[in-house]
Structure 1
Amino acid sequence: MLVLGIESSCDETALALVDDNGVKASVLSSQADIHALFGGVVPEVASREHARLIGPLLDSLFAKADLGPDPWKRIDRIAVTRGPGLLGCLLVGVAFAKALSLAHDIPLIGVDHLHGHLLAAGLENNIEWPALGVLISGGHTHLYRMESPVKMEVLGRTIDDAAGEACDKFAKMAGLPYPGGALLDALGKHGKADPHLFPRPYTHNDNLDFSFSGLKTAGALWLSQHPETHFPAGESPARERLPLASQELCDAAASYLLAVAETLVIKARRAMQSFRPRCLIVAGGVAANSVVRREFETLAAERRIPLLIPALSLCGDNAVMIAQAGWHMAQAGRHHSLALSAVPRGQAIPEDWQETL
């Protein structure tokens, strides 16, 4: 079965083809340079860029995949991110997918973006069920009990700021350009973490939810008290200026990231008390962070279970994970009608699929 995946939830426009053997082809265009001018994603700009790019990217995907003179005869399903995400951005992808589905009479599948992130770990690894899924991104921090590729239960979620947002905001306040999370990780690699410098927020309770607003406030307070540590300005690319950063800022970056990672691990360890997972999945953009990876490696070794993390290229938003999730839904006999709705961040993804074709 060959599945076309379409992703347009935020500032990456991506398409991919996945079949029974894995990834057949993938293309992606990032808008990071555009939004860096504004210090963050501008939804209207992002949706217009998706509309401009998505058609040419499909042509590029087909050229790369070499499906023959009529590629539509080879495609069995069209999977698209329906949410969560920025509504205008989601609508571009969903409308494009609906048009292709209608024009070529190919069944349509709406994919939960967060499930796609988690299932990306299964592209190069064998997921053993049940699994504990830890989804960490700029907009979401969720814990899942994963019973199968199509059955997942949310155990905990962020009640305010997500882990990735907390990292990006600290980086921005420190003078790092957008997107700052990866640069913060690079700074932290040159620092020594102080485990007492920043708090482990919202952990003195017995639930599985997250709140990183307190950590963000603590980071802002520290930076306001140490203005001399701010990242040096300049016209050269930020990565070229990393060696100019003060040791104190590098130490603070390492300490801040350790606080984020240990907070995530505290809640993940607590989730393991409610059931015994056979593997641990860590996914999403923040799963690319070296400190987060190290701390979860320690947890997995402690529990003697495999740790599965998608390849670095699949941690951020991409269409491979959407096509992969769509493939699993198709195997379960699920599809959607053309009434499929886009679901913005903050709203639940409805279980409105149809079971038979």
Structure 2
Amino acid sequence: MLCLGIESSCDETGLALVLDGKLIAEKLASQVDVHAVFGGVVPEIASREHLRVLPVLFRELLKEQNLTVDDIDVVSVARGPGLQGCLLMGISFAKGLVLSSRAKLIGVNHLWAHLTAAGLEQELQFPSLGLLVSGGHTHIYLIESPTKFNLLGRTLDDAAGEAFDKTAKSLNLPYPGGKLVDDLGRQGVVDKKLFPVPYVNNDNLDFSFSGLKTAVATYVNNHSGLRLEAMGVPEDGEEDSGLAAERKNMLASFNYTVGRTLEVKVKRALERNRGVKSLIVAGGVAANSVVRSVMSDVAAGFSIPLVLPSMHLCTDNGAMIAYAGYLMAEAGCRHDLDLEAIARGRVVPSDWICEG
């Protein structure tokens, strides 16, 4: 079975081909440079970029693999959550391909695809506990199969990735700032009491990072020298060494606080779901070194394997959509051409048609 995956939920345009569960080719066009000028993603610009590059990437993908549209058995596309206009670009393109071929259409839950992406590199075991940490979502799932995800906890306001982005922005670090926060933080010394560990003194599995964002903003306002005068990353020796060290220490403490928050909730979830066979951690923030280290310790403490996608599979990509579509097709799932885009803030329905 040859499955094409299309990802266009935000500012990455990704296409990939999965043949019988193995990734054989992929293309990715990033819009980071386009949106960096604005300090964040501009939805209208992102949508136009998807419209511009989708046909180009598709032609290149088929040409390099010596394939035609008729060779594709399944067209899977991210149908949400995401930016409405961006999603519509990918879904419209997918529907056009289905109309011009014999392929089946499958709408993929973008969040679930992140968590199953590691299946491209290693065998997934079910049931598993899944932690999704990204720019827009921080969710905990009990994953019973590739098509059955039970949401145990979610972010009530700001996600972990949002806290990373806003922390970087408060210091005038370039967009996207999550990796810089991680890189600079690794050079600093952690003060475990600098920031409060948010929303853990309760009995639920939900998250809230708005308080941490406020604490960071307050700290930077009270230590205005930490904010760079011009956006960028100073070279060694370009600024006062004490100031640079203080900034790195602050970021190290911020990384610690996020990691500690995730640790508390994931441990709580694992204690309540003792039968899981693994801990899957995915999403853009899963590339953070502190998060990866903390989750490794958590999994070891419960004597279960930690499943982490490779770095390039943590961010948005077509491969995860193609693989998730392949798994759904294997389970006999498909969608009709009335497939809808589901914008962020709405629940993606399990409205597929099951065959056999």
Q: Secondary structure at the match of 1:264?
A: helix
Asked if 1:208 corresponds to 2:205, the answer is yes
The one-letter code of the counterpart of 2:74 is R
- Shift of residue 63, structure 1, vs aligned partner: 2.3
Question: Residues 199-221 of structure 1, C-alpha deviation per residue, up to 9 Å, x if partnerless?
Answer: 11111100011000000000001
The match for 1:49 is 49
Q: Is the 8 A contact 2:21 2:323 kept in 1?
A: no
- 1:128-277 map, 5 Å: 128-231=125-228, 233=230, 238=233, 246-276=244-274, 277=276
Q: Is the 8 A contact 1:79 1:108 kept in 2?
A: yes
TM-score (norm 1): 0.96
Q: Is the 8 A contact 2:70 2:103 kept in 1?
A: no
Runs of 4+ in structure 1 deviating by more than 6 angstroms, as ranges, are: none
Higher alpha-carbon deviation: 119-128 or 313-322:
119-128
- Shift of residue 64, structure 1, vs aligned partner: 2.6
- Shift of residue 230, structure 1, vs aligned partner: 2.1
State the number of aligned residues: 352
- Shift of residue 126, structure 1, vs aligned partner: 1.5
- 1:263-302 map, 5 Å: 263-276=261-274, 277-302=276-301
The one-letter code of the counterpart of 2:204 is N
The match for 1:309 is 308
Q: Aligned equivalents of 1:21 and 1:151: distance in 2?
A: 19
Question: Residues 234-261 of structure 1, C-alpha deviation per residue, up to 9 Å, x if partnerless?
Answer: 6xx6385798570000000010011011
Q: Aligned equivalents of 1:11 and 1:21: distance in 2?
A: 26
Q: Aligned equivalents of 1:84 and 1:205: distance in 2?
A: 28
Asked if 1:330 corresponds to 2:329, the answer is yes
Q: Is the 8 A contact 1:187 1:242 kept in 2?
A: no
Q: Is the 8 A contact 2:133 2:283 kept in 1?
A: yes
Q: Aligned equivalents of 2:238 and 2:197: distance in 1?
A: 29
The match for 2:10 is 10
The one-letter code of the counterpart of 1:278 is K
- Shift of residue 150, structure 1, vs aligned partner: 1.2
Q: Aligned equivalents of 2:141 and 2:65: distance in 1?
A: 34
- Shift of residue 275, structure 1, vs aligned partner: 1.0
Identify unmatched segments of 5+ residues in structure 2: none
The match for 2:27 is 27
Q: Aligned equivalents of 2:185 and 2:137: distance in 1?
A: 22
TM-score (norm 2): 0.96
Q: Secondary structure at the match of 1:344?
A: coil
Q: Aligned equivalents of 1:282 and 1:275: distance in 2?
A: 16
Q: 1:123 aligns with which of 120, 125, 135?
A: 120
Q: Aligned equivalents of 2:92 and 2:36: distance in 1?
A: 27
Q: Aligned equivalents of 1:128 and 1:158: distance in 2?
A: 25
Question: Residues 5-38 of structure 1, C-alpha deviation per residue, up to 9 Å, x if partnerless?
Answer: 0000000011000111510100000000010000
